[in-house]
Each structure stands twice: as C-alpha cells, then as structure tokens.
Amino acid sequence: MSSHIFTYRKLFTLVEETAYEGGEPVNPIARVAIVGAVFDNPWAGQGFVKDLLPGINAVASQLGALLAPRVMEALGAPLEAYGKAAIIGLNGEIEHGSGLIHNLNFGDHFRNAAQATTLLPAVEKRGPAGIIFDIPLKHFTDMTIRSHHQSVETRVSDAPHPDEILVALAGAAQGRPQQRLAALGQD
C-alpha cells in the first residue's frame, strides 16, 4: 500500500430523478446518482509505462474510498443497480483508466458499501474535455435481472484535460422506469 495522498482537481455529484416515463407516473420516482473525480493521470508525461501496478496501488483504493460512500449518500435510497466509468484525457491510454477501475482495491469499496456481489459493469473511453459518456448499470446481486440493465449519460464540461483521468461511479435505486420485459429466458 502506498503512502501517496490522492488528490483531485474536481469532484462532482449528479442526481437524476425520473417522475414520468411513457406519459405515466413513475412510482416511486426513479433515482440515479453519479459521483466522480477528475485527477492527474499518474502516468502522464512518462511515455509508455510497462508496469502500471505502482500507480494503480497509489491511487485505486483511495479513489474507491472517496467515491463509494458519496454515491450511496447521493442516491438517498437502497442501491439496486450500479456501474463505473474511466474517461482518459487525450494524452493517456485506455489502459490507464482500466488499470484503476478494474481491480478489487477500487471496486470493493463500492461493492461493500452497496452489499453487492456482482462485478461492476464499466465503460472506458479516451477523449477531450466535455466528452459525453454512458455508464452501464446492472443489478447489484444478479446480472441476469434484465429490468436493471440500463445506462446513464453524463459529461463534465471541462474534464478530462489531456493529462487527466475522470473516474465515476453510478448507482440506481431501481431498474429502468416502467420496465416491462419478461424475465431472462421467458421470451
């Protein structure tokens, strides 16, 4: 475990509530919360870095510990679906974001906070500041529950800068509003 103190340039929280879908009220109102951090890419300016593990170990756990409780608090209800995202600035590699979010030191903070048992679905993408990205969400204990297969779109107008990474967690208090699909295998 590294003694490096994780710092961020920006921390953001978005909460979306859907009260009507298809012209009908949604009851209870559907809530989705996204919490993310924008921070310096630990590998920026180093050229190709063969061993990413020291940078991952310096950042991943602290990042998960920062974001997981905040998304649970912002959701304000028991979580039923979740996902994650890593958006890498143009000077970075997709692998930089993947390394940070695809390890237990990061993801277990969210799984433990949500009492979840499934893997977190993810998106990784490289792009300029303000890029739009969708965070996929799946049920937190059973990936085959189709009502919870959904995504939430977001963007941060000034992030990531070319040498930054944006990492976000998203949680939903329910499946899709007005979902009507048959259970898996029943169609």
* Residue range 103-114, pLDDT digits in tens: 999 999 999 999
**What's residue 2's pLDDT?**
45
Q: What pLDDT digit, counting tens, does each position of 60-93 carry?
A: 999 999 999 999 999 999 999 999 999 999 999 9
CB atoms within 10 A of CB 141: 13
Residue 164's pLDDT band (boundaries 50, 70, 90)? very high
Contact assessment for residue 123 and residue 97, using Cβ atoms and an 8 Å cutoff: no
Per the prediction, the chain carries an average pLDDT of 93
CA angle 40, 41, 44 (to 5 degrees): 110
Average of per-residue pLDDT across 143-166: 95
Cβ contact 17:29 at 8 Å: yes
Average pLDDT for residues 111-121, to the nearest whole number?
Answer: 95
Q: What is the pLDDT of residue 187?
A: 62
Residue 27 pLDDT > 80: yes
Give the HSE-up count for residue 89: Cα atoms under 13 Å, Cβ half-sphere. 20
* pLDDT mean over 52-56: 95
CATH of 10-172, one of 3.50.4.10, 3.30.1330.110, 3.90.420.10, 3.40.50.300: 3.30.1330.110
CB 108 within 8 A of CB 84: no
